[in-house]
Amino acid sequence: MNSNGLGIDGKVIFSTGNIMSIDDITKKPSQNATQELIEAIKYTIKEYGKQTDRVEYADHSRIISRPDDIQGKIQENNIDDLKIGIKIFLTECNEDNLKEALEIALKQQLNVASVADVIVSFKKELQEDKRDNLDEIKRIWKFLEGYVQMGTVGELGIADIEEATFKELFEWSKVKPSIIQINLATCCVVPPTLQSFCKEKDIKLFTHSDSSDILPSQSIEEIFNKPLILQWAVRFTVHIKCRGVLTIKGYCLCIT
């Protein structure tokens, strides 16, 4: 049993709910994604401790969550007026983890039939000479293509892969990546050749500041006072299209 009183054994799914409704987080807009997620987990644990009715998923995984307004916020608008996006942070190239992350985000968190886009991020190793594993990326990409073909996902994107890897992925894939995210912390300037390629192929190129290691092991141990393993994390966002207003933002993650 750790100091939070959670007694984590086996698999636990965390759901932060809509963090746009948490004043302690919205008042700190300069936080990076990792800092934001840590604050959201701590707040969720605190609120979870106050609940008497607690939920389990069908596979008997524990879910640690808090009352929130996601469904109410979605229902305030026509679903066609909303742009829903998901970013999945994978700690390893595992299709089962990817499927679980997507299914929980779509069915349990958002309760929607489809989303505008899914961006996948692969955890980067610390070694400077660690290269992208194109075969593993292709395997995950092929799995994601199935969701596009079913109409569950509109567009696919990828974060923080090398330019050569991205171009090879683009040429190989059936469902072409329409979004690429570049972290300026590791790449000070977007290569002009990549900019030209994206312009030519009509690919949206964005910069961002998310760490691929969204919740480092040290942070996990500080939160739970014991070493645990992050399997995956998802961030979901909901914008009102006509106004460009972010109305929902939240995280769900799996820890074992």
Residues 20-35 have pLDDT tens digits of 988 878 777 778 899 9
pLDDT at 216: 93
CB 179 within 8 A of CB 204: yes
Average pLDDT in the 143-164 region?
96
Residue 5 lies in a domain: no
Q: What is the pLDDT of residue 242?
A: 87
Q: Decide if 247 is inside a domain.
A: yes
Say if pTM beats, i.e. exceeds, 0.75.
yes
Residue 209 falls inside a structural domain:
yes
Question: Which residue would you say has higher pLDDT here, 127 or 96?
Answer: 96
Q: Is residue 199 part of a domain?
A: yes
Round to the nearest angstrom and report the end-to-end CA distance of the chain. 14
pLDDT at 24: 78
Higher pLDDT, 22 or 128: 22
**Residue 35 located in a structural domain:** yes
pLDDT of residue 203: 97
Using CA atoms, how far residue 129 sits from 25, 124, 134, 209, 210, in Å, is 36, 11, 15, 21, 21
Rounded to 5°, the CA angle 57-63-69 comes to 100
Query: What is the secondary structure of 90-126 as a DSSP string?
Result: ESS--HHHHHHHHHIIIIIII--S-EEEEEEEEPPPS
3 in a structural domain: no
Q: When comparing pLDDT for 190 and 172, which is higher?
A: 172
Q: What is the pLDDT of residue 9?
A: 67
Share of the chain above pLDDT 70, in %: 88
Number of domains in the chain: 1
Q: How many angstroms from the chain centroid is the CA of residue 132?
A: 20
The residue ranking higher by pLDDT, 93 or 188, is: 93
pLDDT at 5: 53
**CA 176 → CA 60, 143, 195, 207, 227, distances in Å?**
37, 13, 16, 19, 38
Q: How far is CA 108 from CA 55, 61, 210, in A?
A: 11, 13, 24
Is residue 2 a part of any domain in this protein?
Answer: no
* pLDDT tens digit sequence for 42-66: 999 998 888 766 555 555 567 888 8
Average pLDDT over residues 202-223: 92
Candidates 253, 211, 255; CA nearest to 101 is 253
Going across the sheet that includes 245-255, the strands are: 62-64, 12-15, 245-255, 230-240, 82-90, 115-122, 153-159, 179-183, 204-208
Full domain range(s) for residue 77: 12-255
> 155 lies in a domain?
yes
Q: What pLDDT score does 10 carry?
A: 76
Between CA 225 and CA 183 the distance in angstroms is 30
